[in-house]
Amino acid sequence: MSTSSTAASNSNAPALSDPASNAPERSSGRVDITERPARAAGSAVAFLALIILLAAIAGSVVLIGTGAQAADAGEPGAAARIIGGAAGVVFVTILLSSSLVIVVPGQTSVRQFFGQYIGTVRRTGLVLVPPLTTGKKVSVKVHNFETSELKVNDLDGNPVNIAAIVVWQVADTARAVFAVEAYEEFIKAQAESALRHVATTHPYDEPGPGETSLRGGTDVVSGELAAEVAARVALAGLEIVEVRISSLAYAPEIAQAMLQRQQAGAVIAAREQIVEGAVTMVDQALRRLEEGDIVAMDDERRAQMVSNLLVVLCSDQRTQPVVNTGSLYA
C-alpha cells in the first residue's frame, strides 16, 4: 500500500527540468548600431539661443536681487522670489551646458540622451543640440601608427622581423564608441595580428611559381595586409587608408647565414655572366681570324688559344703575358 502511494506521489511530482534548458539565451554580444545624424541647429540659431539663455540667467539674478531686497524690507513673497530666481539660474545653466556645444573641424560629437544614442553631430562651430544630452568627442582625422617589430616565421619557416605602418581614420563614430571598448587599442591589436598572418603566407625571398615574396612583392603584400586589417576593424567603424611595410629583415640568429647564401648566389650569377661573355668573345675572335685568313690553326692550336683567352678573360687577377718565340710543338 505504501509502495503504490509513493509511486503515485512520484508520478504527480513535477519532472526536474534540464539546467541547460533553463539557462538564459545568449545574444551574439555584438552591438548592432550605425551612425546617424543628430538633430542640431547651426551657428545662427545657436547664438540666438545663447543670447536668450544669458538673458534668462540675467533675469533670474535680478529676481534673486529683488527678492533679497524684499526680504530686507519684510515684504511678503520675498522667499519665493529668491527660490524661483535660484531655480531659474540652475535650470538655465543646465540647458546652457547641455544644449550648446562647440565642434571643431576634424571632430564629431556623439550625443546620448540618458544612455540612448540619438545621433552624431558633424556640423562645425557653435551648434545647438537637444537639451539634457551628453556628448563624446570623436576625432575623424587621419591617424597613423607603426606596429612593433614582430618576429614571425615566413612560408619557408625562416624567422623574420617585420613591422608595418597603418594609416586609418574613424568612418562610423557610433560603432567606434559603442561597438568596441577602446578603438585605438583595438586597431593596434588587430593590425599586429593581421601582420603575423600575412607574413606567414609568403616566403622572404626566392618565391616559387605563383608565389610572392615579402622582399620582392612589397606592394602586393601591403595590399593584402590592408585588406585583412580593414576586414578585421570594420565592426569598429574604422577605415584603413593605407598599410605599408616599414621594416623587413631576417632574424639575427640566421641573418649571417642568409647573407652568405645571398653573396654566394650573387658570385655564381656574376661568374656565369663572365663565362658567357668570355665564350662569346673567344668565338668572335676565332671567327675573325678564320674569316680574314690571318692565321691557320689546327685543332691543337685552336684549343690552346681558347684556353689562354678564357684564362685571361675569366681570371680574378691580372695575367702576365708570356711571349713565345719558338714553335708551339717544341
For residue range 273-319, what is the model confidence (pLDDT) as tens digits?
878 887 888 778 777 777 766 666 667 777 777 777 777 777 766 66
Claim to verify: residue 267 and residue 214 sit in the same structural domain: no
Domain boundary among 229, 250, 271: 250
Domain of residue 88 covers: 43-137
The band of 27, judged by pLDDT with boundaries at 50, 70 and 90, is very low
| pLDDT the model gives residue 264 | 64
Mean pLDDT of 157-161: 88
Long-range contacts of 248-255 (CB under 8 A, 24+ apart): 248/160, 248/161, 248/162, 248/163, 248/204, 248/214, 248/215, 249/160, 249/161, 250/158, 250/159, 250/160, 250/161, 250/204, 251/151, 251/158, 251/159, 251/160, 251/161, 253/159, 254/158, 254/159
Taking the CB of residue 162, how many other CB atoms lie within 10 A of it? 23
Residue 154 has pLDDT above 70, yes or no: yes
Claim to verify: residue 81 and residue 106 sit in the same structural domain: yes
The band of 113, judged by pLDDT with boundaries at 50, 70 and 90, is very high
Of 148, 154, 155, 118, the closest CA to residue 136 belongs to 118
| pLDDT the model gives residue 7 | 42
Q: What are phi and psi of 18, to 5 degrees?
A: -70, 130
Query: Where is average pLDDT lowest: 11-20, 125-134, 247-256?
Result: 11-20
| pLDDT the model gives residue 44 | 83
Residue 5 in any domain: the answer is no
Beta strand segments in the chain, E: 100-103, 107-113, 116-121, 125-128, 134-139, 143-146, 150-153, 159-170, 238-250
Mean pLDDT of 257-279: 73
Residue 299 in any domain: the answer is yes
Q: pTM for this structure?
A: 0.65
Claim to verify: residue 170 and residue 188 sit in the same structural domain: yes
Residue 328 has pLDDT above 70, yes or no: no
| Chain centroid offset of residue 225 CA | 9
Percentage of the chain lying above the pLDDT 70 cut = 80
Counted domains in the chain: 3
